[in-house]
Amino acid sequence: MVIGITGGVGCGKSAVLSILEEDFNAHIIDADKVAHRLMEPFNPAYDKIIACFGEAVKDRGGFIDRRKLGQIVFNHKEKLKCLNSIVHPMVKEAIMEEIRDINSLKTLIAVEAALFIEAGYMDICDELWYIYTDNESRIERLIKSRGYTREKTESIISSQLSDSEFRRHCHIIIDNSGSRADTKAQIAAALNNQSRK
């Protein structure tokens, strides 16, 4: 079984993945880490990104500076479209390859991607789970954990899919606003329901 884990920034996807891995023996695939790997020198996306954005996105070591790249695409739709057209198909293919390689070894695989719906990854999963946390809790988490300002955090949240859009596309909603035990109980119930199908 392959579960897609998605939700907005600061909703606690990492906490849910930790529970799935530690308590339910899931194999975790993080789309962002896959993208990092593909963007390193001598990997498929690297040359294409340099061709699209220029040498200015490199750091002193010749690696792509993801912060610089993020600043370029954040308020520039055409540049973001170019980046997504390079990275998303390659990430999706790499994830599908990893799933094929491990499918015989693990009964539960969780794939995490913030842009699951927008990137069209839904077809690689049996179920898509939306990790929900109220906006104020998300803002507080991001200010505390990443040092973001409230303004920056609200800007990022408003640029992502709305709560109603996530709910429309996802099969399961996990409310991650409470304790770890509460989140774990919801995950157990969702997996139990899936096993009965």
- Residues 39-88 have pLDDT tens digits of 999 888 999 999 999 998 999 999 999 888 988 887 788 888 889 899 98
What is the pLDDT, as a whole number, of residue 117?
Answer: 85
Query: Is residue 8 within 8 Å of 157, Cβ to Cβ?
Result: yes
Number of CB atoms found within 10 A of residue 134's CB: 13
Strand partners, 6: 130
Reported as a pLDDT band with limits 50, 70 and 90, residue 197 is low
- Residues 118-144 have pLDDT tens digits of 887 888 899 999 999 999 999 998 999
CA 149 to chain centre: 22
Assigned token pair, 18: 């930790």
CA–CA gap between residue 82 and residue 71 (Å, rounded) = 14
Task: Using the structure block, give the residue that is written with the tokens 């899919």.
Answer: 161
Nearest to 115 by CA among 141, 140, 83: 83
Assigned token pair, 27: 């194999």
What is the pLDDT, as a whole number, of residue 102?
Answer: 80
What is the pLDDT, as a whole number, of residue 174?
Answer: 97
What is the pLDDT, as a whole number, of residue 90?
Answer: 93
Assigned token pair, 122: 């839904």
CA–CA gap between residue 43 and residue 118 (Å, rounded) = 24
Q: What is the percentage of the chain residues whose pLDDT exceeds 70?
A: 96
Quick check: 180 pLDDT over 80?
A: yes
Instruction: HSE, CB side, 13 Å, CA atoms: give it for residue 80.
Output: 11
- Residues 164, 167, 169, CA angle at the centre, nearest 5°? 115
- Residues 36-46 have pLDDT tens digits of 999 999 888 99
- In sequence order, the 6+-apart residues with CB closer than 8 A to the CB of 151 are none
What is the pLDDT, as a whole number, of residue 122?
Answer: 84
CA–CA gap between residue 180 and residue 158 (Å, rounded) = 26
Phi/psi-derived region of residue 161, left when phi > 0, alpha when psi is between -120 and 50, beta in every other case: beta
Reported as a pLDDT band with limits 50, 70 and 90, residue 155 is confident
- Residues 102-111 have pLDDT tens digits of 866 668 999 9
As a residue count, the chain comes to 197
CA–CA gap between residue 192 and residue 31 (Å, rounded) = 26
Number of CB atoms found within 10 A of residue 67's CB: 10
